[in-house]
Amino acid sequence: MVAGADRASVVASGFLTLLASQIGTRLVTFIINLLIARHLSPEAYGLSSVQFHLLTTTALFISREGFRRGCLRFGGSDADDSSNNDQGADAAGSSSSSSNSGGKDVAGKGGRADVSRKQRGSGIDNRSVLRVACLVVPLGVVVTAAVCGLAIWRHDTAVAAAAAAAASGVRGDGGDAEAAAAVPYYREAVLLHGLAALVELAAEPFYILASVHLMFGVRVSVEFASTLTKSLVTLGLLSLPARAPALLRRVGLALGGASGDSAVAAAAPLPPALVFSAAQLALAAVALVGYGVVGWRLLQTDKRMPGARGWLSRWTPAEMRVLGTSAVFTLQAVEKLALAEGSKVVLATMQSAVNQGVYGLVSNLGSLVVRTLFQPLEEAAFAAFSAWGAEAASASTSASASNKGSKGVSGKMEDEDGGDGCGQAAAAAAAERRLAPLAGALGPMVKAVCVLGLAAAAFGPAYAYTLLRLVYGTRWSETEAPAVLAAYSVYVLLLALNGIGEAFVHAVLDARGLQASNALLLLFAGAHMGACVALVGRLGALGLVAADGANMLLRIAYSAWCIRRFFRQLPGFSLRRDLLPSTATLAAFAAAACAAGVSNYVFLLAPGTDGSTPQRLFLRRAAPHVAVAFGLLAVVGGVMLRAERATMRQVVEMRRRGRARAGGAAADGAASKKED
């Protein structure tokens, strides 16, 4: 019971820390990326957001995702087992105490919640975590080499096909070969992206170590610095040629060796492929430095720990269990990658560079909500529930062994006297005490992401064109982008429900359950790829969003079944009542969606607004349309304040417990430091 409440407070504290930090991060990077999009054509934008994105994501996700999730099991009973079996209680306590001081130096002012987590004495052995996590690097070398080799081979094949078609006087029927052949420095860019992936993977063991210690503040700080660096480098290199002619002309005249025309010619725009590669390398370098400092400071605490194992000592059972779990998660990562990015592979193969750019812009804009609001909650929930799942499994095993032992002693007399009934009642009561706090923590999280997803689905379709016209201009608003963004807004709701559902399910499943989940995800991946091929050829980027939505529905259904099965021993648990918003909230969002659609028709569609409409006239028409949105949001917010009071009280209570726990741990740490 206490453990479940503590996990809930960890989730609340960690989520709010990540949320507050990522809102600022995404706001800054969104503004910079907006300027970047204005510098690029749809073809160049598609190169970055689809082709190079696939390259980097494939190499990194397959290499590290399994270890990221598997090593979080060190935060539960596995960590305690490792400490008890290999170092003893005294050594474990010393390790925890040492981690406290190191974490405090690293986290600083923004990571007090992280420090308090370690000050509680989690018994985490940093060297055990790193010995498993370091296997990311050799795996990453193999995966990155294979991915880069495949990309270069595909590029060379496309170039050869385009050259053969040009020699024979036949125009190629697919845009992919022409696009690949027309990209300058493509091979060099692929190799540089591969190098950036290896640099980023070198920092991964320290990222995993910080995640095991639940150092959310540190993670957000490094991510903000690396993402901001990438955006600034991209924008700077793209905008540099616009300012270079005057500078070069001055330099040439001063030296007397270059004419004005040659100076202007020397200021030709940099190839976008090399610009994107340089920016990715900058991101990887900042990540390596940031997480390297975090890992180094945590490792300094191990040097003061008596009885610490060496790096080459024999692997413990806990480390082997975590390695096995990481292997299962790695296989699952391959399937999840096929589910998440397989659609982009189809798009890059079957559609032109313009359509790739349209989908890239829409997915980046639409997923802004996902990365800013949903991803922090999913990561915080998975970290807390993974440790909880390890502890719950250990407690369940102990309880089962105790019950069997007592039944063996009592024999048949206990059965005749109704002992089985008492035992079942006690087991049911224990299960309720174990599951009730977890259900109480899961419910507000699912409701929160559902409300955010409903807001996107209700207002996105009616305001997609207005947003693109105001932010990106007519270059993008008069393409297929508004229709794709409208569909993606509904897709965001499905992403929200699937993300938190799978985070919970994968955190609490055992090895056998994970294997069954992997098999089912593989089946979903096959169906998803078939739907992508069928729909992309007919509907383009819009068909891609439709196929992704159908895939999300299948995965949501499976997660809901797993959650219902997990809480089957909890009396009165209901998916509809405990995990979804109230009927009044759902009705309010439905009414708001209808009203927003009517407003879009009255103010924009009926007057015939399009790309030829002057900007001043468009702004006069869009102003009342946007005002309607603010009014509808106010009405929906008022309904939620009345209908979701119980959920809001739960969130406030979770946050209050998190602050109380952090304050108590900080006081204990200060007292211990004073005694030393």
Helix axes 272-303, 186-202, angle to 10 degrees: 10
Is the pLDDT reported for residue 52 higher than 50? yes
pLDDT grade, residue 250 (50/70/90)? low
| 662 vs 667: CA distance, rounded Å | 9
86-134 confidence digits (pLDDT tens): 444 333 333 333 333 333 343 344 444 443 344 334 467 777 888 888 8
Residue 52 has which token pair?
A: 């190079």
Q: Which residues of 592-631 are buried (b: 16+ CB within 10 A; e: fewer)?
A: bbebbeebbeebbeeeebeeebeeeebeebbeebbebbee
The span from the first CA to the last CA of the chain, in angstroms, equals 33
Share above pLDDT 90 across residues of the chain, in percent, rounded to a whole number:
20
| 384 vs 381: CA distance, rounded Å | 5
pLDDT grade, residue 186 (50/70/90)? confident
Half-sphere exposure of 644 (CA within 13 A, CB side): 28
578-594 confidence digits (pLDDT tens): 888 889 999 999 999 99
Is the pLDDT reported for residue 616 higher than 70? yes
| 188 vs 533: CA distance, rounded Å | 30
**Stretch 375-387: mean pLDDT:** 67
pTM of the shown model: 0.67
| Mean pLDDT, the chain, integer | 75
| 49 vs 92: CA distance, rounded Å | 46
Which of 11-15, 138-142, 434-438, 568-572 is predicted least confidently?
A: 11-15
| 447 vs 497: CA distance, rounded Å | 9
Element (H, E) at 320: helix 317-350
Asked whether the beta carbons of 501 and 446 are under 8 A apart, the reply is yes
Asked whether the beta carbons of 366 and 487 are under 8 A apart, the reply is no
Residue 177 has which token pair?
A: 């070969």
Which of 222-226, 415-419, 610-614 is predicted least confidently?
A: 415-419
φ and ψ at 574, to 5 degrees?
Answer: -140, 130
| 283 vs 277: CA distance, rounded Å | 10
